[in-house]
Structure 1
Amino acid sequence: MQIPFSPSPTSSLGVEWELALVDRRTRQLRGAATAILDEYQAKIGEHAEQRAKHELFESVIEVVTGVCDTVADAKADLAVTVGLIEDLAASRGLALMCSGTHPITSYADQQISPDPRYRSILERMQWVARRLLIFGVHVHVGVPAQDRAIPVVNALVGYIPHFLALSASSPFWLGLDTGLASSRSKVFESLPTAGLPYLLSDWEQFERFMGTLVSSGTVETIREVWWDVRPHPDFGTVELRICDGLPTLLEVGAIAALTQCLVDRMNTRLDQGYRLPTPQRWVVQENKWRAARYGLDAEILLDERGTTRRVRDEIAALVDDLLPVARRLECVDELTDVLHILQVGSSCDRQRATAQRADGDLSAVVDVLLREMKSRRPL
């Protein structure tokens, strides 16, 4: 199976942000995506590029950017669309929110979106797909050729615990504290084609792998391979998909900057003739679990000898290391917002603190998440 790749000459950027529609009175999720998206399309015009889309459930809308040169451009792009959707939601008694899971709403009560693609996925995967009332942020960064995509994917896999710890925002599931920082990552990886990617040798092996999946009927298209990091041939990007939903635009920008800087540096090193490192899968798997369980308090493995270090210290050192790249990409402010997250805590930390102050009332957690979305910054 040949898979054409649309190269990106620069480290261009695209962001996808999955948002929840929350009833302001009950704080539960409420399905209204079809009506909101129809009105949104009418408002922007029939021929305008759509920046808001359906997801699996009617209570979820995905907001996407166009192709952006800088993180500031991506944040501005998202802010415009989110503002439009917020207004349309408000007229229906709804507000927007984002976290890896909704603290109190059950997936069993939610209506599936009318998109035939999602109906097909649900028919094939049943309960595993029916539970996917989860929210994430995906970041695309351009790579210049298909022979770069697999080495960059493999190298980026080593940073999965960093991104998961920073973005962890799903401690609660069906009204209960799971004891995890990211329950979303555990729910999502139960899909047969989700979770850690296979560490493939080159583009040709990727094509053979995908050809087997399609010809065997495992997937209908390669869009249904939902790895934590994957190449996206149509966009000419590497896509980071590990992150939990982020409640604020500041956090989205921080994650986008960290991703763009890392991929750009990897592209530069390949230009200089270096070989990018491919981590051992078992090390990454253990580190992903530690980040999902402990968030920013995790200690991650640095090597096969069992050397460990606090992930927050690794993240701080990584930001410092990437500052020269950030200056060139004009995202120093957004990259240093990563340090702000380390100071105030991840959304998981903030949610648990809110629940403790409210004597376990998770409606208070929803209220804070709604306020954070509106303020665009962690509270």
Structure 2
Amino acid sequence: MSLGAFQHSEALSLGVELELQLVNTHDYDLAPYAADMLRLMQKIDLPGTVVPEMTNSMIEVSTGVCQSASQVLTELARIRDALVQCGDKLNIAVAGGGTHPFQQWHERRIYDKPRFQELSTLYGYLSKQFTIFGQHVHIGCPSADAALLMLHRMSRFIPHCIALSASSPFVQAHDTQFDSARLNSVFAFPLSGRAPCVLTWDEFRQYFEKMTRTGVVKSMKDFYWDIRPKPEFGTIEIRVFDTPLSIERAAQLAAFVQSLAAWFLAEQPFAPQEDDYLVYTYNRFQACRFGLDAVYVDPASGEHLPLRDHLLQTFERIAPHAEPLGALPMLQQLKGDVQAGRNDARWLRDVMGREQLLAEVTRQAAQRFRAPQAQA
């Protein structure tokens, strides 16, 4: 199978996908109502799409092509309101978060769709353990070669994305001591992790053709990389975010990606190289394990510094590029949370500390998703 042409997209355009939990309102465990939710949602005129995911207690929603993070928030608000309305009819709730705190993976059922059934046959129990929930952000690129440069520049900031979005401290009713335990499940899949450091589309096409000749890969969907090109959209897709607990945070993360990309396109701040990846897995682990308290190793200098400090430096660096995009207010909200050491993982642990009941943690997370952040 050939790779296909890299389609045109408007540079810095955005698209956001959210994988969401469906939970019953009795004990707040996952509820197998994806088909019912999809049936109701299809009756409502909404931007983007609403589609099934691997198991039948989760769905994926997406925006259309957006020009700004504010537009992302507007579209997600319409989708969120429709989800809440349909969920109320079914006596279920919708929640964010990268993992459900206490669901048991062996109870999950694979959604009846040919690709999901094929993946279940291939990956066995890993398919049910893939009942995890992420946010994907697409960013438009002016050309195929520019997309690969942006991908590898963005890779330096994968730990930042993980720490800002981390919302999966609990797995199978245990505190994992990770802020983002979700990514440990992703790492179990072959062809996960980082993309190969090729910097032109011709080189990437050659790599793709070699992989397809092995029979291991049939399409770009078979790569579970942290960031991957999406040639049919003309974008790169950042895939490391846990699904946030609110759509407001989802829009803020899109603003962060768009502002980074604007900086890359305007200033070409550093030349990507293979050596950038010497510390990639270590930085990724640190962010998953410790969130905003992680240590960050600068790929260029080898300097070790708190990730929180590097995040604050990054906010200052990209602020001039965020302002023309209307993204600065959202960046300032993220900056305030970083300064205070707040992310969704901490919020979930704080609720657990008060309530001592994971069902109540999930109930409050569902309430937070359904209400504007100011009211949450």
Deviations 1:306-352 (A, max 9, x none): 42111112112211221111111111111212123323611111111
Report the residue type matching 1:19 in the other structure: L
1:21–1:29 Cα contact (<8 Å) kept: yes
Measured in 1, the distance between the counterparts of 2:117 and 2:193 equals 22
The answer to whether the aligner puts 1:375 opposite 2:371 as a matched pair is yes
> What does residue 5 of structure 2 align with?
4
- Decide whether aligned partners of structure 1 residues 36 and 258 sit closer, same or farther in structure 2, where only a CA change above 3 A counts: same
Gaps of 5+ in 1: none
The answer to whether the aligner puts 1:348 opposite 2:345 as a matched pair is yes
> What does residue 149 of structure 2 align with?
151
Gaps of 5+ in 2: none
> What does residue 23 of structure 1 align with?
24
Measured in 1, the distance between the counterparts of 2:102 and 2:265 equals 42
Measured in 2, the distance between the counterparts of 1:298 and 1:141 equals 26
> What does residue 138 of structure 1 align with?
136
Q: How far 1:158 moved relative to its partner? A: 0.4
Q: How far 1:182 moved relative to its partner? A: 0.9
Report the residue type matching 1:349 in the other structure: R
> What does residue 307 of structure 2 align with?
311
Match of 2:267 among 256, 266, 269: 269
> What does residue 109 of structure 1 align with?
107
Measured in 2, the distance between the counterparts of 1:357 and 1:244 equals 23
1:250–1:337 Cα contact (<8 Å) kept: no
Q: How far 1:206 moved relative to its partner? A: 1.5
Match of 2:323 among 327, 333, 343: 327
Deviations 1:73-92 (A, max 9, x none): 11111111121122111111
1:40–1:88 Cα contact (<8 Å) kept: yes
Measured in 1, the distance between the counterparts of 2:32 and 2:161 equals 30
Measured in 2, the distance between the counterparts of 1:377 and 1:50 equals 22
User: Percent identity between the aligned chains?
Assistant: 27
Measured in 1, the distance between the counterparts of 2:329 and 2:148 equals 29
Report the residue type matching 2:216 in the other structure: T
Report the residue type matching 1:347 in the other structure: D
* 2:241 match: secondary structure: coil
2:47–2:75 Cα contact (<8 Å) kept: no
- Decide whether aligned partners of structure 1 residues 275 and 179 sit closer, same or farther in structure 2, where only a CA change above 3 A counts: closer
* 1:280 match: secondary structure: helix
Q: Which moved more, 1:277-286 or 1:115-124?
A: 277-286
Aligned length: 372
Q: How far 1:303 moved relative to its partner? A: 4.0
- Decide whether aligned partners of structure 1 residues 166 and 49 sit closer, same or farther in structure 2, where only a CA change above 3 A counts: closer
Q: How far 1:198 moved relative to its partner? A: 2.1
Measured in 2, the distance between the counterparts of 1:323 and 1:275 equals 18
> What does residue 33 of structure 1 align with?
34
Q: How far 1:229 moved relative to its partner? A: 0.9
Q: How far 1:296 moved relative to its partner? A: 0.6
Measured in 1, the distance between the counterparts of 2:69 and 2:48 equals 20
2:99–2:171 Cα contact (<8 Å) kept: yes
- Decide whether aligned partners of structure 1 residues 31 and 2 sit closer, same or farther in structure 2, where only a CA change above 3 A counts: closer
Runs of 4+ more than 6 Å apart: none
- Decide whether aligned partners of structure 1 residues 69 and 304 sit closer, same or farther in structure 2, where only a CA change above 3 A counts: closer
Measured in 2, the distance between the counterparts of 1:127 and 1:198 equals 28
> What does residue 53 of structure 1 align with?
51
* 1:104 match: secondary structure: coil
The answer to whether the aligner puts 1:197 opposite 2:168 as a matched pair is no
Measured in 1, the distance between the counterparts of 2:128 and 2:55 equals 9
* 1:91 match: secondary structure: helix
Report the residue type matching 1:21 in the other structure: L
Measured in 1, the distance between the counterparts of 2:53 and 2:130 equals 10
> What does residue 67 of structure 1 align with?
65
- Decide whether aligned partners of structure 1 residues 307 and 275 sit closer, same or farther in structure 2, where only a CA change above 3 A counts: closer
Report the residue type matching 1:27 in the other structure: Y
Q: How far 1:23 moved relative to its partner? A: 0.6
**Cα RMSD (Å):** 1.8
Q: Which moved more, 1:276-285 or 1:311-320?
A: 276-285
Match of 2:122 among 124, 146, 167: 124
Measured in 1, the distance between the counterparts of 2:235 and 2:29 equals 36
- Decide whether aligned partners of structure 1 residues 100 and 121 sit closer, same or farther in structure 2, where only a CA change above 3 A counts: same
Measured in 1, the distance between the counterparts of 2:89 and 2:336 equals 34
Measured in 2, the distance between the counterparts of 1:293 and 1:344 equals 15
Q: How far 1:358 moved relative to its partner? A: 2.2
* 1:242 match: secondary structure: strand
Measured in 2, the distance between the counterparts of 1:315 and 1:223 equals 31
Q: How far 1:214 moved relative to its partner? A: 2.5
Measured in 1, the distance between the counterparts of 2:318 and 2:17 equals 23
